[in-house]
Amino acid sequence: MFAYSVRRLLVSIPLLIVATFLVFWSVRTTFDPTAKLATSRDSARVRAEMRERLGLDDPIVVQYGRWLGDAVTGDLGTSTRTRQEVSSMVWPALGNTVQLIVWGFGVSLVVAVGIGVFSAVRQYSIPDYVFTALSYVGLAMPPFWFALVASQLLGPGLKDALGLDDPVFYVVGLHSDDGGLDLDYLQHLFLPVLTLTVQIVASWSRYQRSTMLEVLSTDYIRTARAKGLRERVVVGRHALRNALVPVVSVVAIDAGLLFGGLIITETIFSIPGMGRLFVEALTAGDAETVLAWTLVSAVFVIVFNLLADLAYGLLDPRVRLS
Amino acid sequence: MAMIATLGLVAAGCGDSEETDEGSSGGDGTEQTVPTGGELVVAAEQEPDCTDWIASCSGSSWGFWMMNVTTLPRAFDVSWDGETAEYVPSAALAGEPEVTEGDQPVITYSIDPEAVWSDGTPITSTDFKYTFDQIANGEDIYDKTGYDKIASVDDADPAKAVVTLSEPYAGWKQLFGGGYGILPAHLLEGKDRAAEMAEGYSFSAGPWKIEKWERGVEAVLVPNETWWGEAPKLEKVTFKFVTDTAQQFTVLKQGEALVGYPQPQLDVIEQLEGGLDGFESAVNDKTGNIEALWLNNAKAPFDSLAVRQAVAYSLDRDAIVKRLFGGIGVEQAAQSLEPALVADLNDNEAFAGYTLDLDKVTELMEGDGWTKGSDGIWEKGGQKAAFSIQSTQGNARRELTQQIMQEQLKAAGFEVSIENKPAGDLFGQILPAGDYQAGLYAQVLTAPEPGMCTLFCDKNNPDKNAEQSGQNWQRVFLPDAEADLAAVETALDPAERAAAGKRAMQALAENVVSLPLDPLPNILLWSDKVVGPVQDNPVMGPFFNIHEWGVQA
């Protein structure tokens, strides 16, 4: 398994180089970082100075080579937009996105697996139909729309309904002050996590239900029941473990992708995460930041895909990685 | 929006009010007690890329309003009485500077002996000299205009900064202020200014100092205890960055923020029409903004005066403005290509004669050799009277404006297409290169200095200078008006300057070099818990006097 993991990671290096080059090329040829200076009366001078400072007149390959040379030494460059070290922008943003993902995925996993198992065990019952209908609603509902409606209803709507002076759930940021893991933090976290959870639960619970149904109809489950095992043991110990395998891979792949940012959730709830960082950097032609974002996001996708593969082996001993 | 980069001149909180805790007026003009203490949270739509105000990473209106105006000293503030903007010496000066006119005017600024930085060090003429040196000779400076006309700054007397200009410069009151301010030499000399200031700074010579700036989250101001003017009433002001317009209203409704200053987008106006309980609003249509249909005078069909005039008579501009801003009471089209901020320096009614008149359109077009085709569109030499209107992508208000104009122009025999681009492409490449026929966007003045030479003088036509610089993106050349346009930039006598401005604007209107639409009103919203002299200032923004505001429990 170790050798397999190392081999997979080594194969990923050329992939990262190609991905970052394509991103660099597309950002440099699409967005001009000097464009915002066009409104200065001094635009010719200040834009020319910036072009020279950033080496924008060099061939793309030369510019990319400069970035790559620095990146392998751990220097992700300086943002052309904010003049900050890019690494000092990426890590805080990643921290905020990770908070959303950890809470969102934690809640979603519990709820989605619960709903999926329940719906499969009680197939064609009224609760199964209700959960099925709700999941379709969740899948069909645009997240930005849900976020705005939830903000209205659970923000000022709930506050007014309860006649409170202070909000029950906040709609901006992750904390009121410097914060910690306290009630204020949870009041800020609730709506963005709810927005994230509704989408994910709708999707994962369907996977869980269908894989659970498949497993429940297999011979070994029939055998387990025939041996007189209690239904809770059959479902919990024998069926669920196998039914989790495809769901785990979906969870791992989704997690890897989402480390790139939850653009809608972060924008609507004013959370400075990876998604907002990407959008702001892209529109400003800040290639260095976009590249760092690409690098970090790609690493997470690769690592989580690898984790998904490794999880197969752990959950299903029949799977051997080689 | 594009900014006519006249340097914004703003107040560092003009502390000349003698109001006491028991006597300040409310935003609605009524007498209200302004309590002391407490925190005010403002919903801020944007944040700056950096706080090194003179560098190219700066240039953010919100950054200027929140952190520059409130922390840095400057030579002049701009007062606003609702109709007229006027330069007034700031609290950093002992009075009006002395000006010796001539080929090389000399300006002597006398510094208020009470004026000190937050570490107690007096503000001196060396700060003026350092600021000039950084801007005129520094690298990566956003705009050196004006400072390139300074020959020297004499700091021999710490209490008097003697500035000698290399030539007459009408906009001299913008110097050592505007979007920049004055920088502390004793703290920055010999250091990397950009590095010291980019991420916020601890020094101040305004009513407030920056306690914290957490990117994407908030900027926090606390009182500057060495401020020599009226002390801030509030203990803290927090600007929370809420970039989503719809969420701004949610934030206000549930009291997470008590003040908002949203851009006048359609959804904002709809929200205001629906009412916002517990909030007061001020809509200011006398702003530094002018939204217009900017015409490329060098490109067909707008290289023809008759076509430009015909287009002007094809549009019912009042109807457009009423549709866009009628919900907040703004119904009259602008009649000048300068914003209302400089109304006294140009003819503010120059375009008033251009109202919807289809007979006039026919007369002008036929007189220019055009005939109407079977599809109702004018034709000449096999070419249709067709053009595109370009604007910024993703702006619903501008899209609606384009659609209304498209309908009105079609009825008059013009075929109009809509072509919208990312703002960076439009302002960074398309307009400077002249690769457009008509553009819909706003020009913004950040100081009460007319921008008409910047926009219409031939020397600022990018096609006509070696550096391809300048903002005469309309490619306007009116030989008879050139002298008046230039005088607006150089005349030191206000009366002479105003007369030249009026003549120049009349010439621009006669030639319909572009067509003004609306003033892009400012909208200020504040909770009725907020008391004090709340008002919008089109130059300094709404927070210039936030030290006089308070919050009721």
C-alpha–C-alpha distance, residues B171 and B453, integer Å: 12
- Tell whether the model's pLDDT for residue B9 goes beyond 60: no
pLDDT band at B6 (very low <50, low <70, confident <90, very high): very low
- CA A307 from chain centre, in angstroms, equals 15
Query: Does residue A202 lie in a domain region?
Result: yes
Q: Does B278 touch chain A (CB under 8 A)?
A: no
pLDDT of residue B16 exceeding 50: no
User: What is the reported pLDDT for A254?
Assistant: 84
- Select, from the ranges A175-179, B26-30, B353-357, the one with the highest average predicted confidence (pLDDT): B353-357
Q: Per mean pLDDT, which of A39-53, A234-248, B99-113 is the most reliable?
A: B99-113
Question: Are the C-beta atoms of residues B487 and B457 closer than 8 Å to each other?
Answer: no
Residue B22 confidence (pLDDT): 37
Cα(B409)–Cα(B128) distance, rounded to whole angstroms?
53
Range with lowest mean pLDDT among B184-188, B239-243, B491-495? B491-495
- The pLDDT-based confidence of B117 (bands split at 50, 70, 90) is very high
Mean pLDDT of all residues in B211-217: 93
Q: Tell me which residue in B4, B50, B468 faces A82 most closely, judged by beta carbons.
A: B50
Average pLDDT of chain A, as a whole number = 88
Residue A321 has a pLDDT of 56
| pLDDT surpasses 50 at B99 | yes
Count how many domains chain A has.
Answer: 1
B76 phi, psi to nearest 5 deg: -125, 145
At B122, list the tokens.
Answer: 């007096």
Task: Give a yes or no: residue A45 inside a domain.
Answer: no
Query: Does a structural domain hold residue A297?
Result: yes
Cβ-based contacts of B50 with chain A (< 8 Å): 82-83
Q: Which site among B254, B392, B460 would you substitute to test the A interface, given the most A Cβ atoms closer than 10 Å to its Cβ?
A: B254
Domain assignment present for A183:
yes
Q: What is the spatial distance between Cα B365 and Cα B362, in angstroms, rounded to a whole number?
A: 5
- The residue range of the domain holding A186 is 90-320
Instruction: Using an 8 Å CB-CB cutoff, list chain A residues near B425.
Output: 32, 35
| CB contact residues (below 8 A), chain A span 53-92, against chain B | 53, 81-84, 89, 92
Q: Count CB neighbours of B55 within 10 A.
A: 22
Which pLDDT score is estimated for B405? 98
Under 8 Å between Cβ of A112 and A208: yes
pLDDT digit string (tens) for A107-158? Answer: 999 999 999 999 999 999 999 999 999 999 999 988 889 999 999 999 999 9
- CATH number for the domain spanning A255: value is 1.10.3720.10
Helix (H) or strand (E) holding B306: helix B305-314
Residue A286 lies inside a defined structural domain of this protein = yes
- Angle value at C-alpha B81, between B504 and B98, nearest 5 degrees: 70
Which of B340, B297, B308 is CA-nearest to residue B461?
B297
**pLDDT recorded at residue B210:** 98
pLDDT score of B398: 95
Whether the Cβ atoms of residue B136 and residue B147 lie closer than 8 Å to each other? yes
C-beta neighbour count of B309 within 10 angstroms = 22
What pLDDT, on a 0 to 100 scale, did the predictor assign at position A261?
66
Assigned domain for A307 exists: yes
ipTM exceeding the 0.95 mark: no
What CA–CA distance (Å, rounded) separates B375 from A47?
46
Maximum C-alpha span of chain B? 78
Residue B276: pLDDT band with limits 50, 70, 90? confident
- Give A39's contacts in chain B (Cβ within 8 Å): 2-5, 59, 427, 471
Distance (Å, whole) CA B90 – CA B77:
5
B285: CB partners within 8 A, 6+ apart: B325, B330, B340, B519, B521
Mean model confidence pLDDT for chain B: 90
Q: What are phi and psi of B240, to 5 degrees?
A: -90, 130
Distance CA B365, CA B360 (A): 8
Residue B550 has pLDDT above 90, yes or no: yes
Average pLDDT over residues B131-144: 91
Strand, coil or helix: B436: coil
Tokens, residue B155:
């700091």
Which pLDDT belongs to residue A179? Answer: 67
DSSP H or E segment with residue B39: strand B39-44
Helix (H, G, I), strand (E, B) or coil at A221: helix
Residue A319: predicted pLDDT: 65
In a domain, A38, yes or no: no
pLDDT band at residue A303 using 50, 70 and 90 as cut-offs = confident
Whole-structure pTM value: 0.86
Residue A285 sits at the chain B interface (C-beta within 8 Å): yes
In-domain check, residue A184:
yes
> To which residue do tokens 């297409």 refer?
B417
Q: What is the CA radius of gyration of chain B?
A: 24
Contact B233, B36 (CB under 8 A): yes
DSSP B236-276: EEEEEE---HHHHHHHHHTTS-SEE-----HHHHHHHHH--
Q: B143-185: per-residue pLDDT in tens?
A: 888 999 999 999 999 999 999 999 988 889 999 988 899 999 9
